[in-house]
Structure formats: C-alpha cells, structure tokens
C-alpha cells in the first residue's frame, strides 16, 4: 500500500505580501541606510529627467556646497539623537562660534590657527553646557536646547553687534573651507571634503570603540545600560560636548561658504540638520541609526530643493515637499521599530 505525500497548501496572496513586507521590515531594521540610499538614487534620476541642468558640474558643485554646512551639523545632531536626545541649539552654537573666531581674528589680529582653536573651544563649551543641564539637572533635552537656542542666539547678536565680519578682514585659514578643487570638471570645496572625512571618522568611532557602543546602548535603554555598568551620565555629557565641537567645525565651513561671518546666517540650519538625520534613518527614539544615513539625508534635502527649484516649483511647495519627507521618514521609523525577532 503506497502513501501519497500531501503538499502544504499554497500561501494566500495576502500571506505572501505580508512575508515580503516582513522581510523588508527586517532588512531596513538591520540596514538603516538602505532606504535613504534608494530615495536619493530615485530623486537624482527623476530630477535629471526633469531638468537637463541638474547633473551639470556647476549644479552638482552648488548642491555639495549647500549640503556641506547642514551635513556637518547633522553629524553632531546624529550623535545626540542616537542617545534619544535632540539639539535645537546646534545652529545657534554654529553661528556664535563663527562670530567669535571671525571677530577675534579681525579685531585683534589673532592668527588663523589660534582663532580657529578658540572657536572650537567655544563650540565645545556650549555643547558641554547643554550636557550639564541634561545630566545634572535631569532636564529634557528638548527643553534644555530650546532654552540655550535663545541664549546662544542672544549672545551672538550682543557680541557681534548685529554686524557682519567681512572675509577680507579675516585670516585666510578661516576662509580655507570655501576654497575648491577641480575634480572631473566639478568644483568641490574643502568644506565638502572635510564633511566626508568627518563622516568616515565618526562612523568608525561609533562602530569600533567602546564609547560608540555605549552611545548606542544609552539611547536604546538608558536604565538597562546604567545597571550593566555604563556611566550613562558621563556618556551623555561627552556626547553633547563632542556635538558642540562638530558644530564649531560647521561654523568653519559656514565662514568659507559665505566668505564672511554673519550673525543672521544659518538660522534654520538646526531644523535642517534634524530633517537630515530623520530622513537618513536615525530613530528619534534612540539606539538605531548611522552617520552615513545622515549624510544621505542631507543630500536628499539638498537634491530635492535644488531639483524642485530647477523644475520651476515655488519655494512654498519645496518646503512642503521637505515636510512630507519628514512625516514619511518618521512613519517609516515607527513601522521599522515594530519589527519582531
């Protein structure tokens, strides 16, 4: 007597779809940069088809220059958001730092290197103040940085006297980030190259050092990390101080970008940096994300704004498009966080 093996019933279409979505959810959870990379690639293709000027060397150079400042800010912002925090004061720290290094050099004749180091010190101290308020007073990062945003901006206006410092009055070193290299017909600024180096260095540190692992662990579950022996308060303090130093690097890039130091420059760059980080796949709830994703996010914002402008879209709708991107990115993050092992 022979027995016939019974075949399992074929999965229903909705079960196959669910399986595909589940695999996609796990993939995006494991590789946070895949989504932003695909979005950037699609955006470049679409805008290249819409405008013949989009992929010209001059336009690519313009996009990279615009992304350099926000991308640098996004590096510091990413480190903070990885700990489940947020820094609304990053733009104000950047502008204050740019004013300090430029004004000191222009008015006292301080050489470029000491002026630059002074700016790095000011940026680090501003970040350290944020960290102390978060760790010592146990205040929410949103409230702390909202307050220091106004404090640093007021100090910026007071110290600068609301006056712009011209590039001709500064040492050449402060303007170095605005100088360019000709690569394949595209002029790349040193500020853009510095951003790539900064992203690579930060990504290496976060992935291969104990400090980097502690940053992720603190953002994923601060209480569990503390109980496991990680000094979470010290980690948070160091994160805000390092972020402040990165914002000072952004200030250097900003000076080179506009060939001056203006107290009114970069007022919305704090929001743009958060946008880049969120679109780049870093979770606002902490513990998941990558620096490379934030660079991709900054490029996505730059490409969208530039491409829509070349397509003749009004600035109003450009802003709306970025807003839609943010909502989609946060919604996607919520969906990815629900992944089941």
Name the domain count of the chain: 1
| pTM score | 0.88
The answer to the question of residue 20 being in a domain is no
Question: Which pLDDT score, from 0 to 100, does residue 10 have?
Answer: 56
The answer to the question of residue 134 being in a domain is yes
The answer to the question of residue 326 being in a domain is yes
The answer to the question of residue 259 being in a domain is yes
CATH number at residue 143: 1.10.3470
Give the tokens for residue 22: 């589940």
Angle at 293 between CA 72 and CA 215, to 5 degrees: 80
Tens digit of pLDDT for each residue in 159-191? 998 899 998 889 999 999 999 888 877 889 999
The answer to the question of residue 21 being in a domain is no
Tens digit of pLDDT for each residue in 76-134? 999 999 999 999 999 999 999 999 999 999 988 899 999 999 999 999 999 999 999 99
| Contact between 215 and 83 (Cβ < 8 Å) | yes
The answer to the question of residue 179 being in a domain is no
Residues of the chain with pLDDT under 70: 1-18, 21, 24-32, 333-341
Question: Which pLDDT score, from 0 to 100, does residue 321 have?
Answer: 79
The parent domain of residue 297 ranges over 63-174+188-337
The answer to the question of residue 54 being in a domain is no
User: Is 100 buried (19+), middle (13-18) or exposed (0-12) by CB count in 10 A?
Assistant: buried
The answer to the question of residue 143 being in a domain is yes
Question: Which pLDDT score, from 0 to 100, does residue 1 have?
Answer: 46
How far is it, in rounded angstroms, from Cα 276 to Cα 243?
16
């Amino acid at each position: 007597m022979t027995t016939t093996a019974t075949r399992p019933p074929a999965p229903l279409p909705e079960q196959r779809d669910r399986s595909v979505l589940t695999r996609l959810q796990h993939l995006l959870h494991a590789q946070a940069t895949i989504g932003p990379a695909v979005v950037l690639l699609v955006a470049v293709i679409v805008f290249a088809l819409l405008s013949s000027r989009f992929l010209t060397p001059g336009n690519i150079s313009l996009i990279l220059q615009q992304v350099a400042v926000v991308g640098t800010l996004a590096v510091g912002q990413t480190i903070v958001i990885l700990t489940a925090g947020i820094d609304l004061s990053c733009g104000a720290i950047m502008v204050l730092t740019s004013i300090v290094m430029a004004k000191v050099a222009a008015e006292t004749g301080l050489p470029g290197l000491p002026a630059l180091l002074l700016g790095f010190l000011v940026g680090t101290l501003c970040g350290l103040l944020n960290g102390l308020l978060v760790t010592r007073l146990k205040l929410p990062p949103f409230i702390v940085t909202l307050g220091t945003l106004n404090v640093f901006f007021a100090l910026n206006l007071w110290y600068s006297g609301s006056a712009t410092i011209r590039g001709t009055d500064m040492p050449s070193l402060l303007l170095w980030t605005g100088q360019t290299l000709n690569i394949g017909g595209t002029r790349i600024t040193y500020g853009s190259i510095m951003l790539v180096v900064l992203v690579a260095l930060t990504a290496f540190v976060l992935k291969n050092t104990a400090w980097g692992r502690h940053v992720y662990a603190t953002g994923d579950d601060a209480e569990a990390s503390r109980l496991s022996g990680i000094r979470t308060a010290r980690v948070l303090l160091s994160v805000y101080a390092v972020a402040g130093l990165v914002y000072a690097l952004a200030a250097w890039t900003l000076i080179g970008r506009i060939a001056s130091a203006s107290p009114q420059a970069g007022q919305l760059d704090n929001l743009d940096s958060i946008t880049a980080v969120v679109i780049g796949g870093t979770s606002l709830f902490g513990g998941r994300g990558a620096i490379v994703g934030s660079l991709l996010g900054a490029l996505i914002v730059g490409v969208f704004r530039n491409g829509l402008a070349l397509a003749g879209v009004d600035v109003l709708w450009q802003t709306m498009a970025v807003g839609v991107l943010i909502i989609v990115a946060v919604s996607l993050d919520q969906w990815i966080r629900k992944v089941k092992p």
